[in-house]
Structure formats: C-alpha cells, structure tokens
Amino acid sequence: MKQPEIDYRAVFQALPGAVALLTPQLFFADVNKEWLRVVNRSRERVIGHYMPDDYADTPNHPNAAVARNIGESLRRVARTGRAEIMELQRFDPTGITVRPRTVEARFWSITNIPVPDADGRVAMLLHRVADVTELIQARAVALSLQEAMLPAPRAIGHHPVAVRYRPAVRALEVGGDWYDLVDLPGDRLGVAVGDVVGHGLSAATVMGQLRSALSAASRSCGGPARALEILELYADSVVGAENTTVASALIDWETRHITYSSAGHPPPALLRSDGTVEFLDRATDPPLGARLDRGPWAQATVPFTEGAFLVLYTDGLIERRNEDIDTGLSRLAASLARHRGTQAEAGDLADALLADLLPSTGLGDDTALVIVPL
C-alpha cells in the first residue's frame, strides 16, 4: 500500500496550542494560526522578526521580564540541544487577546524543543505556549480551601510549636497534606500529620473531613491508636479517603513520654538533646482502609528529655523519584543532627530543614512539617 504524502505545513498549522518555529538566532521562521491569535499580530509582523526585540523599547513593561526569560531558555536549548519546560510565566493581558472580555493576567506553560538537522546539530527551535490560567485558578481555590482548613500556627501552652506548609510548585493542583495540633488537659499535646491520595479540590475536601474527625477523636479517645481506629471507621464512609496515611502522637510533658501510632506514614523523628536521631517506627500499620485485620492499632511509647525536638512531616520532605525512602530518611537525620547545635528555636530548625531538604528546582509534592520543642 502506498504511503500517503504528508503535508507537514498543514500538520504544523493544526498543532494544538500556540506554536512558533525559530532559528537558533531567535528569528521567527514560522508560526501557526493559534500563535497569531494569542499574540494578536498579523503573520507579516511576526515572520522574520527577532524575538528579543519584544518589549525592547519598554523594558519596564510587566511582560519584559517574561520575554527575557523566554529568550534565555531558547538560547540554552540552542546551545545544549536539550529541551526545556519553563516555569509558569505570568503575562499581563495588555495588547494580548486570548479570549473576548478577558482582562485578568494569564498564565502560560512554555516548552522549548530543539529540532536537529541530519548531522544532529540544532537547526530550528520549536516554541510552544499553552494557556493554563484556568488550571492555576482552580489550584488557587483548592490551596485557599486547604489553608483555611488548617489550624493557624500558635503556641500550645508554653510550647512554641513550629509549622510549615509548602505547596508543590510544578503541580497544577494542590495536594491533600495536613497537620493538626490538639491542646489536651494537663501539660499534653496531640500532634498529627496526614496525606490524602490525589490532588485538587476533592483531595482538599477529604483532607478537611479527616483532619476534623481525627482532631475530635484525639480529644476523646485516650490515645493515638484508639484515635486512628475511630478515624478508620469514619474514613470508610468518605469517598477518596482510602489509602490516606497519618502519623499521630501524644506528648506528655509531665511524664516526659511520647505515645505514637502510624497509618502507613513516614515515621516521626525524635531529635535528642545529644544530637542523635531516632525514627519512631515501632507502631506502624497500613494506610487507612488497607488493613486486612481491623483489630486495635499498634501503639508505642518513648521517653524524652528536655532540649529534644519531635519532628513530624509528610513525604514531600524526604521522597524523591527513583530514590529509596531510606535515602531520604538518612538525609533528614543528617540534617537534623547537623543543625541541632546551631538551631535552638523550633522555627529556626524548621527553616533550616526546608532549606536543606527541599529541591532547588521546586517541589514535586506538597510538604507539611511540624516541629515541637520538648
């Protein structure tokens, strides 16, 4: 059968999104119709135009910095021959027509791809723009909902607990990470962190329900294990709650003991006053809804001395793609031990951990961190 002749120009024009083809020197060689619509220009004004000239006469324009970012990315791609997906870029709508009556800023996801010649050298640059404003707005709503459902950082009695929450910067949807602090009678504190599977408004909604249920159970059930047992029963009726992980601990300053229980969550870390680190991993069951035996949850108790810190966190702090979780735990332990002598305050220690452990390229997953000075 004879292969059909392919009209590559027609294919280029039909590509989804706004697509431009540039020379390695950043001159426009071709653009599709969607590109012309998005930038609101005629083809004659674009073809042969030098991209860095955009906003050259108005360097203080809000979009001038974006144009510089794009130019720098394209030059790197031309030099290295490696494709780049840029961080999201925020565009001012002035002079740009995306859709009728649109006046709010737009967010664009930009991909720059090298096109090699027969000898493998970069001959052209494919520059694709996708409008992701609606996704970003949806993520902002979910993030606002999530933040509204989390307790505000505050001192519990005379214990200045430090909490930090960092959303994933590359993901377009918020996750279901949470933390909770429960002031209990006597000099006691209940503290928990959890992680709902999934992203977006549904995960944030499930997170809010589970956090509230665990908070109530922790106030009335007499210990972390019983509280998780009650939470699992409640989670059975919540769509999307299955496989949620939770770590729950009860700190008692009168007896100087920590009682803890975990539902498939990374183990809390106890940073002792001598700088040694112990992971509290002797009371771990599967995530919510994943246990075959619905008997009592495992629970363990460990003593502590003054000057120690209890650290609870979600997996965004330690897990990395294609890396064993033990590597991440070792990295956390080393960072805790390294900063024990220099960070006397819980907040300082929290900031030092985030600076050490979060990737400079941005988070691939949300991260919640709670540090309690003991």
- What digits encode the pLDDT tens for the residues 123-180? 989 888 877 776 666 557 555 555 555 565 555 556 788 888 877 654 445 567 888 8
pTM: 0.62
C-alpha closest to that of 35 among 126, 166, 117: 126
The pLDDT, as a whole number, for residue 8 is: 79
pLDDT level of residue 303 (50, 70, 90 thresholds) = very high
Pairwise CA distance, residues 20 & 32, whole Å: 7
The pLDDT, as a whole number, for residue 96 is: 47
How large is the angle between the packed helices 133-149 and 200-220, nearest 10 degrees?
Answer: 10
DSSP class per residue in 79-111 = HH---EEPPPEEE--TT--SSTT--S-EEEEEE
Apex 147 CA angle, 146 and 150, nearest 5: 90
Average pLDDT in the 69-91 region? 85
C-alpha closest to that of 210 among 189, 184, 231: 231
pLDDT at 65 over 70: yes
The pLDDT, as a whole number, for residue 97 is: 43
The pLDDT, as a whole number, for residue 261 is: 94
pLDDT level of residue 299 (50, 70, 90 thresholds) = very high
CB within 8 Å of 178: residues ≥ 6 apart: 146, 149, 150, 193, 194, 195, 196, 207, 208, 210, 211, 368
b/e map 305-327, b = 16+ CB within 10 Å: eeebbbbbbbbbbbbbeeeeeee
Structure tokens at 284: 């771990």
DSSP class per residue in 246-313 = EEEEEEETTTTEEEEEEEBPPPPEEE-TTS-EEE--SSEEPSTT--S--SPPP-EEEE--TT-EEEEE
pLDDT level of residue 6 (50, 70, 90 thresholds) = confident
Pairwise CA distance, residues 244 & 144, whole Å: 21
The pLDDT, as a whole number, for residue 366 is: 77
Parallel, antiparallel, or unpaired: how do β-strands 284-285 and 89-91 relate?
unpaired
pLDDT at 278 over 90: yes
The pLDDT, as a whole number, for residue 341 is: 67
Pairwise CA distance, residues 143 & 184, whole Å: 29
What is residue 159's DSSP assignment? B
pLDDT above 70: percentage of residues in the chain: 83
Pairwise CA distance, residues 191 & 369, whole Å: 11
pLDDT level of residue 192 (50, 70, 90 thresholds) = very high
The pLDDT, as a whole number, for residue 291 is: 81
SS3 29: strand
Structure tokens at 254: 């009168």
CA dihedral 195, 199, 203, 207 (to 10 degrees): 30
pLDDT level of residue 195 (50, 70, 90 thresholds) = confident
Structure tokens at 334: 């080393």
C-alpha closest to that of 210 among 187, 232, 184, 191: 232
pLDDT above 90: percentage of residues in the chain: 16
pLDDT at 363 over 70: no
The pLDDT, as a whole number, for residue 260 is: 95
What average pLDDT does the structure give for the chain?
81
Pairwise CA distance, residues 76 & 355, whole Å: 27
- What digits encode the pLDDT tens for the residues 242-251? 888 999 999 9
Average pLDDT in the 279-297 region? 85
- What digits encode the pLDDT tens for the residues 308-337? 999 999 888 888 777 888 888 999 999 998
